[in-house]
Amino acid sequence: MASFVPFATHAGHDQRHGLALTAAAAAVLSILLVIGLRWPILWLGCAAAVAGAGVLWGVRYTTRYPLWLPFALMLVEVLPSINFLDESIRPLLRYPLLVLFCAPAFPRRWRGSMLSQGGFRLYTFYFVLACFSVSYSIAPAYSLGRVLGSVLLFGALFTVSQEVKDAHDVQKLFGTYWAACGIVLILLALSLVVLPRDVTWVAPDQWAHDSVLRFAGILGSPNQVGEIVVPSVASGILFWPAATKRVRIAIAVSVVAAIYFAAIADSRSSLLAVMVGLFAFTVDRYRRRALVVWAVLLLLGIVTLSILDRDTLEYVNRGDATTLTGRTEIWRFTIDKIAQEPLLGYGYEVEGQIFQDRHFPLWEEMWNQGPHIAVHSGYLARAVGMGVPALLLWLFLTLRPLIAVFRGAPDGFKIRDAIALGALPVLILNIDESAASDCRYSVGLLLAIIWCIAERSRLMSKQRSDSPEESARVILLASADLK
């Protein structure tokens, strides 16, 4: 059984030297903190210095060990969403960090790589279309910034996928991603205990009249808290076989915590997506036994609902379920806008800007945030941004390697479980949330990692089947069968 740490540390002199530097840094930091008692502004300077040093060390480490890059990218995608930061400050944090962590990965293993083959080539073409959409975007600055961020993330994750050698590397890769999810969960737990309730709980249900308080923690919205449950559960289960006993305890705690936070965040879509992923994973692995267990759980759920009191049932069924708590109202307007520009759309990832149309039926203040507002459907968002043909292209290139694994394609990286636990829930969540964007957010990163590995596996199996040696082997086997 492997340790949690995917890479061994240096011993001997290097280790003692590192400990000495750490002790010296701690001593200097302690002195500065004591001085900060007299001049508190120095605390901010100390924090900035420590954070800067940590970022530079992280860039160096992920450049040396690319399998740790998703750990850093996950934190870069989530932490700038802290609700203490102004909306104008977040891009100033996110984009420089993306450049620092992603740019060093670009030259690695690109020459003669799979970037010019199969789905990777199609995705490159998709990004070319996205860049072209900036020229006619209704919010060109946002389109340009978001396409550059997505290209940086995609290039970095492509490099990571090329560094994966076998199924054990895949497990370690999800182990690093689970560790990043764990840090976010710890911060959410601290915010739940330490921060005032009026900071961490909000009532943002803009469609329902019976809004309830939802937990947002340190993040910008309860939906972001709910989304964390998908990568936390998926990466934790996928890393489980390679984890030590102590780490397995931590994984179990993190899964329970993620589900709890999604529940108090009232993120029913995320919880449903996780349930579908667990159902697909267990049925694919255990077949009839899993079906029996799920049937029993369903029966217990029905019985539990039947004995709930009226007030509890009203809470469970709050909102208008027939309209997905109002989503269908904005979807009708969105589809009408797509019909007006079906071929090219309105610009890469600026779907919220269409709500500035004077014919939009909702006039609440929140709808004035332009591209910062989502249409709450990732599929409609792509059609709004780049047109229906681009949406169909994305669906084809995304689903092809995922479906191929379940149709019997060779799965040398053992990515089948990750598709059921990670990719499928993200694609389901993408129906009523803008989740499966191009490598963005915690769920977008998860889908992109799984897709890159699945597409690489598909291309490798295709190359083997097209090679003369493989063809000769197949002919020999067929001749032996005839005899």
Whether 29 is in a domain gets the answer: no
Whether 188 is in a domain gets the answer: yes
How many domains does the chain divide into? 1
Contact 435, 429 (CB under 8 A): yes
Whether 216 is in a domain gets the answer: yes
Contact 98, 153 (CB under 8 A): yes
Whether 21 is in a domain gets the answer: no
Distances (CA, A) of 409 to 116, 189, 378, 379, 474: 21, 42, 28, 27, 16
CB atoms within 10 A of CB 139: 22
Whether 30 is in a domain gets the answer: no
Contact 398, 390 (CB under 8 A): no
Percentage of residues in the chain having pLDDT higher than 90: 45
Question: Domain range spanning residue 407?
Answer: 52-286+320-466
Whether 2 is in a domain gets the answer: no
Radius of gyration over every alpha carbon of the chain, rounded to an integer in angstroms: 24
8-12, 56-60, 148-152: which range is least confident on average? 8-12
Would you say residue 5 has pLDDT above 60? Answer: no
CA separation for the pair 241, 421 (Å, rounded): 15
CA separation for the pair 348, 340 (Å, rounded): 16
Whether 269 is in a domain gets the answer: yes
pLDDT tens for 203-217 read 754 444 445 788 988
The alpha-helical segments, DSSP class H, found in 212-287 are 222-227, 229-239, 245-264, 268-286
CA separation for the pair 325, 321 (Å, rounded): 6
Whether 75 is in a domain gets the answer: yes
Contact 155, 107 (CB under 8 A): no
Mean pLDDT of 127-132: 95
Pairing mode, strands 214-215 and 201-202: antiparallel
pLDDT tens for 403-445 read 999 988 888 899 999 999 999 999 999 988 877 888 888 999 9
